[in-house]
């Protein structure tokens, strides 16, 4: 099915909403377990619609996160661009994985993002985020199947709408 007529704005809304979720204040006990929503959503859309979303999307959402979180400018942009590249490069293989392997792959991608952010913090002389960054990787992997199910429904609705009007 051609996805030329599928509107991009709902996807961008999910990406911007995910970035906003990463900046909402949480109680101190829950802050360490906040998943990387923007990364999860970015992985999904690049995996499902690689022709429409890619490295530029990762870079743009990363810059948005840098601005919203007051991080070193380019930190999240670099990390999300690397994650976007790997997802784009292997999207055909990743898509056919069973859910448990897909979840393990997302865990590895989230771990790579956390490592890049950790490395940049070290180079920039920022204090390390500690165990919070790594617990977010685990939380993101645990929530991946639920996030994927929600985004699958949205994607199917968009594709059905496109087929109706084609």
- pTM of the entire structure? 0.92
Structural domain boundaries in the chain: 9-22+30-156
Residue partners of 35: CB distance under 8 A and separation at least 6: 136, 139, 140, 143
Distances from the Cα of 53 to the Cα of 46, 47, 138, angstroms? 5, 9, 25
Single out the residue of 137, 140, 119, 139 nearest to residue 128, CA to CA: 119
Q: Write out the two tokens for 76.
A: 């999240």
What are the mean pLDDT values of the chain's consecutive 10-residue runs (166 residues total)?
Answer: 69 94 90 93 95 94 94 94 97 94 97 95 84 90 96 91 67
Q: CA-CA distance, 116 to 164, in Å (whole number)?
A: 43
C-alpha angle 94/154/90, rounded to 5°?
15
C-alpha angle 140/144/148, rounded to 5°?
145
Burial of residue 12 (number of CB atoms within 10 Å: 0-12, 13-18, 19+): middle
Q: What pLDDT score was predicted for residue 100?
A: 96
Q: What pLDDT score was predicted for residue 117?
A: 94
DSSP category for residue 3: -
Q: What pLDDT score was predicted for residue 161?
A: 78
Burial of residue 157 (number of CB atoms within 10 Å: 0-12, 13-18, 19+): exposed
Q: What pLDDT score was predicted for residue 1?
A: 42
Q: What pLDDT score was predicted for residue 166?
A: 58
């Amino acid at each position: 099915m051609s996805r030329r007529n599928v509107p991009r704005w709902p996807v961008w809304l999910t990406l911007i909403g995910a970035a906003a979720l990463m900046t909402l204040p949480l109680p101190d006990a829950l802050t360490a377990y906040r998943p990387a929503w923007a990364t999860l959503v970015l992985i999904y859309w690049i995996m499902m619609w690689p022709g429409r979303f890619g490295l530029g999307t990762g870079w743009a959402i990363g810059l948005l996160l840098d601005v919203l979180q007051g991080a070193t400018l380019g930190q999240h942009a670099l990390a999300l661009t690397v994650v976007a590249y790997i997802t784009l490069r292997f999207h055909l293989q990743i898509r056919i994985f069973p859910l448990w392997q897909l979840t393990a792959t997302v865990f590895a991608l989230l771990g790579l993002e956390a490592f890049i952010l950790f490395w940049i913090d070290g180079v920039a002389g920022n204090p390390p985020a500690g165990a919070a960054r790594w617990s977010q990787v685990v939380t993101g992997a645990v929530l991946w199947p639920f996030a994927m199910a929600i985004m699958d429904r949205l994607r199917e609705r968009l594709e059905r709408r496109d087929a109706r009007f084609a």
